Amino acid sequence: MTRDIVLEARNLSKQVSSPEGPLTIVRNISFTVARGESIALVGPSGAGKSTLLALLAGLELPSAGDVVLAGESLGALDEDGRARLRAERVGFVFQSFHLLPSLTALENVMLPLELAGRDDARAAAGAMLGRVGRAARTGHYPRQLSGGEQQRVALARASVGHPAVLFADEPTGNLDTATGERIAQLLFDLNRGSDTTLVLVTHEAALAARCGRVLSMEAGVLLRDVASAAVATHA
C-alpha cells in the first residue's frame, strides 16, 4: 500500500536580485516525499540545497511554485499560518545548535511544547533527553555541554513534538567524525522509531547513503532522484 505523502514540491523556483541581474537559486524542482521516508539533498556548495530546504519548510517563499506540507499548501497560508504549521508539524536541526544559552538542556527541549500549551512538557522533554542519552544532563546549560551534547539536545528539541517532517541542515558539520556518527545514528533511529520523515542536507557521501533516497542538485537544478543503498539495507 502506498504511504501517505507528507511533503510535495511543485515546480519550485527561487530567484533573487544580484548586481549582475536576477539570479535563480532553485529552478523548477518537483518531487514528493512519503511519511517515514529519509531523503538526502546533496550537491556542491552553491547548488541551492539549503535554499530548497528553507522553501520546503516555509522559512522562505518561492518565486514560483508551491510546497504542500502535511496536507497544507504553504502558498495559501500567511506568515502566521506558516509559523503555526512549522510549530505543529516540523522540527529543525542545524549545523549550529541554536540552543538558548539562558535555558538548561531540559528547558530548551521543553520550549516548543510549552509554546504549544502542552501540560506534560517537562515529563515529555525529560523522556526525550533520555532517548538521546542525556538524561543526566537536564540541568546543564549549553555552555556546560560539549558540541556533541549540544547537538543531542537540539535533536531532542526538534523531535519532542513528534513532527511530521524533521529538516536537518548539515547536522554533523560542526562535529568530529566519531561524534558525528553517533548523532547520525540518533537521527535515523528517531526517523524509524517515530515514523517521522527526515529531509537531510549533507555534503557527506556516507551520511547521504544511509538515507532511503538521494536527491542530487547542481546550480539550482535537481539532477537525480534515486534510491540509495539504505533501501536494500533496511528492506
What tens-digit pLDDT sequence spans the chain (235 residues)? Answer: 346 999 999 999 999 988 888 899 999 999 999 999 999 999 999 899 999 999 999 999 999 999 999 999 999 999 999 999 998 899 998 888 889 999 999 999 999 999 888 899 999 999 999 988 899 999 999 999 999 999 999 999 999 988 999 999 988 888 888 888 888 888 888 888 777 899 999 988 888 999 999 999 999 999 988 887 554 444 3
- What CATH class is the domain 5-233? alpha beta
Task: Find the helix or strand (DSSP H, E) in which 147 lies.
Answer: helix 147-159
d(CA 98, CA 80): 22
Coil/strand/helix, residue 192: helix
C-beta of residue 162 within 8 angstroms of C-beta of residue 194: yes
d(CA 118, CA 112): 9
Q: Where are the domains of the chain?
A: 5-233
pLDDT of residue 178: 87
d(CA 36, CA 48): 24
